[in-house]
Chains A and B, each alone.
Chain A
Amino acid sequence: MSYIANNQDAFKAIADPGRRRILDAILLDEKSITDLVTLLGLSQAAVSQHVKVLVLAGLATARRQGRHTFYGANPVELRTVNAWLHKYERFWEGKLDALEAHLAQKIN
């Protein structure tokens, strides 16, 4: 079950409602910290912290332009998180195979 460790950061990142709002906001267009503060009504400190977590988790990318940094969602990584769910599904398929083998043993 080692895959439980995979994308831990991404899971933690999207577990927070504030960070989900930020991800939503940057899904289609890049935004600066200032844009996000105005858009979401969160404090600059909170937005900066959330964005940092998203970038570290690989869910957002930072692009410097002049004196500003623009943040955008990284859909490839989001898709990786989705793939993680399918791994969990395969985990259960494997466990149910083991259940069937266990039952076969019980009946004999």
Chain B
Amino acid sequence: MKDIIITRDLAYPIQLVWEAISNGNQLAQWLMTNDFQPIVGHEFTFTTDPAPGFDGIVQCKVLRIVSEQTLEISWRGGPLNTILQIDLEPIPGGTRLILRHSGFAGFNNLMPRFFLGIGWKGKTMKQLDELLASSHAKGH
């Protein structure tokens, strides 16, 4: 499965952006309540409102920190066991932020073949659409 990758160019100096993503109090202001500490191996949680089937707690662990450059944490919420990585790069007039959320369990083997048709009995997206259409016609 493809990772979620989002790139944002921010009109703010890299020190300021780094502070916003590596300081627990600041993370709480734009992301979620947490007990984050910028220490590799530190285990912490992000908490949000519970929803049916989700206790509102994301279990995390700091995996990698390179000051003003990279923050990598594990991200486990419900059945999801994923990795969140945020990279910063200086650009003229500010900072480029690249967020990558990867490792969606269960998708890795099944989904690429199912949705992209790669190696899946030579099925193409068109054929998949036909399959979906016929499935829909059967009353799903």
Are A and B co-members of a single complex?
yes
Interface of A with B (CB < 8 Å)? 1-2, 4-5, 8, 11-17, 20, 23-24, 27-28, 61, 74-79, 81-82, 85, 88-89, 92-93, 95-96, 98-103, 106-107
B interface SS class: mixed
**Contact count band on B:** 35 or more
Q: How far is B78's CA from A11's CA once the two chains are assembled, in angstroms?
A: 9
Q: Given A85-B4, A88-B4, A92-B99, check contact A14 B135 (CB 8 Å).
A: no
Interface of B with A (CB < 8 Å)? 1, 4, 6, 8, 10, 12, 16-17, 20-21, 26, 29-31, 48-49, 51-54, 56, 77-80, 97, 99, 101, 104-107, 109-111, 113-115, 120-121, 123, 128, 131-132, 135-136, 140
Q: How far is B54's CA from A96's CA once the two chains are assembled, in angstroms?
A: 23
Q: Which B residues lie within 8 Å of A92 (CB)?
A: 4, 6, 99, 101
Knowing that A5-B53, A5-B54, A102-B29 touch, tell me 7 more A-B residue pairs with CB under 8 angstroms.
Answer: A2-B49, A5-B52, A14-B107, A28-B121, A75-B135, A100-B8, A103-B20
Partner of A75, one of B1, B79, B132: B132
Q: How far is B29's CA from A39's CA once the two chains are assembled, in angstroms?
A: 53
The answer to whether B51 touches A5, judged by C-beta atoms less than 8 angstroms apart, is: yes
Q: Which B residues lie within 8 Å of A85 (CB)?
A: 1, 4, 104, 107
Q: Given A4-B78, A28-B121, check contact A96 B20 (CB 8 Å).
A: no
